[in-house]
Structure 1
Amino acid sequence: MNDKQYIDWVSMSDAALAQTIGTFVKHHRLAQNKTQEEVANAANISRSTLSLLEKGENITVPTLLQVLRVLDVLYVMNTFKIQEEISPLELAKQEQQKRQRARNTDNDNTKKSDW
């Protein structure tokens, strides 16, 4: 197997997921040596709301986004980015449509052949 820790997110309860998010936020806040008051003021929320978030209690998505922005960890949003995938059949069709050779761009038909 690989060295990365496997977490079965599907089997976790909503409360456990919220707790994981709260732990993530608290970890990054402490790593930046910021108090709850500092982060709450910068995010324009109350300190008690931030405390609830860190404890895994119910908060709103906009509140979470404000805190993630203040902590400069919005990179977690990359997980939600949708990447368009091309099917193998569509890729094969596109490959067939690619030009195989170049044409002479000299369109002067007035030249006479030596024949």
Structure 2
Amino acid sequence: MGNTSINYTQMSDGAIVAHIGRFIKHTRTTQNKTQEQLAKAAGLNRWTMSQIENGESINLSSLIQILRALDCLYILDGFDYSEEISPLEYAKLKKRQIKERVRNKTSDKSDKNDQNDLGW
């Protein structure tokens, strides 16, 4: 799985599923586990493991169970994201904050004047 030159965008869905199956099989055999052992650890049956390793479709829950059993949940790090604001939106936000501070200072001054006004 160390090949980083794979262009997933040009692969069909079936080819990607087969690639995942090969990864699972490679990782399983590297860990010296049988399909039966991995299936049991993942809470699946051996037939399902065989189908997945042979490139058959897999549901997301099964994939997560298998990755957990293989101690490979680190793969999900690729799904991590952070909310970022564009520079233009940041500038607009800062401008709004400045306007609100000015507006609040103005209203604070008028409140103080109202408090000093004894109505005489």
TM-score by length of 2: 0.68
Matched with 2:25 is 26
Structure 1 stretch displaced more, 41-50 or 83-92: 83-92
Give the alignment of 1:5-16 within 5 angstroms: 5-16=4-15
TM-score by length of 1: 0.71
Matched with 1:58 is 57
Matched-pair identity in %: 49
Q: Which has the higher helix share?
A: 2
Unaligned ranges ≥5, structure 2: 98-120
Please tell me whether residue 76 in structure 1 is matched to residue 75 in structure 2.
Answer: yes
Q: Aligned residues, how many?
A: 95
Render the CA deviation track for 1:65-104: whole Å, top value 9, x for unaligned: 100000000111111122212322455678898xxxxxxx
List structure 1 segments (4+ residues) > 2 angstroms apart after TM superposition. Answer: 88-97
Unaligned ranges ≥5, structure 1: 98-115
